[in-house]
Every structure is written in structure tokens, then in C-alpha cells.
Amino acid sequence: MQFDNTLDFAKALDQQDELSGFRNEFHFPVINGKEVVYFTGNSLGLQPKKAKDIINQELEDWANWGVEGHFHAKNPWYAYHEIFAEDEAMIVGAKPEEVVLMNGLTVNLHLMMVSFFRPQGKRTKILCEAKAFPSDQYAIESQLRFHGLDPSEHLIEIAPRDGEHLIQHEDILQAINDHGDEIALIMIGGVNYYSGQVFRMREITEAGHAVGATVGFDLAHGAGNIDLQLHDWGVDFACWCTYKYLNSGPGSVSGIFVHERHANSPELPRFAGWWGYDKSSRFQMEAGFKPIPGAEGWQLSNAPVFNMAAHRASLDLFKAAGFANLRAKSRQLTDFLEFVINEISNKNDKAEFEIITPSSHDERGCQLSILAHGQGKALFDKLTEAGVIVDWREPNVIRMAPVPLYNSYEDIYRFGQLLNEAIQ
């Protein structure tokens, strides 16, 4: 498509957008009497308007039923997590029995590594991307130390080449081949939080399995953002949060995927809890853990119903919109944002913006990360004062994500105008 950085062009695209009505399903923050330009769905998604009513239903049932709400609430809490299986599986490309919602993201990463990082003999190392999100780094390092292993010796980090911002796919494959008989686990963020780079997860999984390693992904920046087919790709496990692109509120519940070839293996080591125990005999309170078949068998405690209630509101919108439709809009929104940023950079001698996110649709979701050459945090502060909510990463990277469920083409045009004003 031939883009034009004008208000009329942006409005015309919005009028043609069959998903534009979903914007009205969300609350937008207001600064100085105007709705903000909100491009931080990669950090915290906006609140669906229906979330309040859905949470209030659970509050009312708690008030009316007390503990009996587990069985007599409108949506009985005893089986509350089960109502998400099909829709959550749709988001990540899985079978319903391969997914479950539970805990927080980093807790789930640790639980997965308990089961899938089993260092033995020479095979003791974990491979990950350099500059992964800090929680991933800390979790991996602490898991190595828990097994008595020194991260400086047993952690393989794949970094961008000198002078580059992205990790070359062939460098990942080369490292897998070079260290094949030493790697116990490959765990990579499916979408790098800093650059927005989408890794080729299917090929990484195939390469890891070819050398005998287990492969898992942190999909905090992937779930609800990019096309995922975890089952078909043969991924061993994955975890994701629901408060970014899945719009479920700060610190909300996390999801896990465990491929069916593992999910139905009760002998696989795991940290167990009573909510993962066989449902038919859970209340007999017997010794000896008997896991539920599927991913449900990794649950520890009762479902966090209020967090999950907010997630329901968002999943209903994803289902109504259709993920293929959202992904198509996401590509065009991000292309338009890329065009606007480049036009401003090319026409202005006071600032130079370098987009470090890949240009290929197969290698990015809706996030763009830009290096603001010659600019400091003052530029970010000016944007914030003008009502633009984006994200700053030191030393001079601005991350932004036009989310197809609620962002518009006019948002992107407005952003461009405010960015141009901020650098004058």
C-alpha cells in the first residue's frame, strides 16, 4: 500500500477498517482533557470495558455464596480455569488440553524448568538470547545455581554481531550445533522485548530437538501479538503473561503450554500442588500425587478467579474479532507507523530515528523500537507531556506498539505530529 502522512488518509483507513469498532470496547486514559495516544500494549494493555461487570459478577457471587461459590456461582470457581482452555489454545496454537492458566509468568517459568531442565552428564547447559528480559535471565541463572552449576560456564547467550541490534538466525542455529551435546535446554523469548524481533521458533525447536535438547519459549511479548502454532511446531513448553497484549490487568494470571507428548506423562518430575491432582479423587485428600492429564496437572493452587475474570473480558474480544483479522490489521498499522517515523526522520535535521525492529512481517509483531540518535530522555518526557504513552529503554530506545484491537490509524498520524513537535 502507498501511504500518505495526512489526517485524511488516516481517517480513510479507519473508515475502511472492519475492526475499528473494537476500540470502543476499551477505556483510554485521558491527559489534559484528551485521550492519550496509547502505544504501550506491549507493557500493559488497556482495560476492556466489560472487565468491571465480569469481575463484579464474581464479587457478587462471593458475597451471596461464600465458599459455596465454588459450586454454585454463576461460573463455579471449582472449574473456573476450564472455561478458558479452548480460547487460550486458539491464541497460542495448541490443543485445549495442552494449556492452562495459573500463577504468574516467572513462577511458571521456574515450574517448567523444574520439569524440563534436567542436567545430566555432559548435557548441563542452557542456551538463551543475550539481553533477554531480566526475569528470564534471573530465572535461568538461579536454576543453574540450584543445580550446582556456574552460569558463567553453563549459560550460552547468543548476542547480536558487533555493530548490529538483532540476533542473526543462523547464529542461533550455529550455536545449537556447536554445543549440541552440551545443551540440556533452549529457552528463548519468542519475541525479544527490547528490539521486537520475532525468532523463528519452529526452526529453533527442530534444531534443538535434532541435538537432543528440550526447547521452551517465554511468550510474554508473543501471545496475542503474533501467529503461534506451538503444537504443530513441536515446542516442549511455553509460558506467557496476560497483561500485555491480552489486556487482563496489572500482574494478571499467566498461561502455560505443555506439549501433549509430555502433558500426559505422570512420571515427568514436577513441583506438585493439590489443584493439579486428579479431579475425580482430589477431595479424598490422599497421599501420593496423581496428576490431572494434560497441562492442568502442573497447577498448584486454586484458580485466581478475579484475575481470570478480567482475562475473560479480553478473550471474548479476541474471539469476536478473529485472530487472523487482528494480525492482518497489525501488519498494516505497524507498516504505517514505520512510514510515518521514517518520513519525519528524513525531513528533519534535528533528529535521526533508526528503527531497529526487523522490517519483515515474519520477524516482527506490532512493536517497533527506535533508536533516537542525538536525543535523550527529554524527548520521551516531551512526548509524555503531550499525551503520548510509549516506553523508554536506556540509553535512547523508544518502544511503541500499535495494538490492532484498540489502536487506530489516526492514532499513528497524531503520534507523528506530536513527535515532530517534540523534536523542534
- Domains in the chain, CATH or no CATH each: 7-49+322-422 (3.90.1150.10), 54-319 (3.40.640.10)
Contact assessment for residue 29 and residue 336, using Cβ atoms and an 8 Å cutoff: no
| pTM across the whole model | 0.95
Q: How far apart are CA 107 and CA 123, in angstroms?
A: 24
Task: List the beta strands (DSSP E) in 70-171.
Answer: 99-102, 125-129, 155-158
Q: How far apart are CA 130 and CA 258, in angstroms?
A: 25
The torsion angles phi and psi of 212, rounded to 5 degrees, stand at: 90, 15
Give the DSSP letter string of 350-392: T-EEEE-S-SSGGGB-S-EEEEEET--HHHHHHHHHTTEE-EE
| pLDDT tens over the chain, length 424 residues | 899 999 999 999 999 999 999 999 999 999 888 899 999 999 999 999 999 999 999 999 999 999 999 999 999 999 999 999 999 999 999 999 999 999 999 999 999 999 999 999 999 999 999 988 889 999 999 999 999 999 999 999 999 999 999 999 999 999 999 999 999 999 999 999 999 999 999 999 999 999 999 999 999 999 999 999 999 999 999 999 999 999 999 999 999 999 999 998 888 999 999 999 998 888 888 888 999 999 999 999 999 999 999 999 999 999 999 999 999 999 999 999 999 999 999 888 777 899 999 999 999 999 999 998 877 788 899 999 999 999 998 888 999 999 999 999 999 999 999 999 998 7
Q: Are strands 155-158 and 125-129 parallel, antiparallel or unpaired?
A: parallel
Cis geometry, peptide bond prior to residue 29 (ω within 30 degrees of 0): no
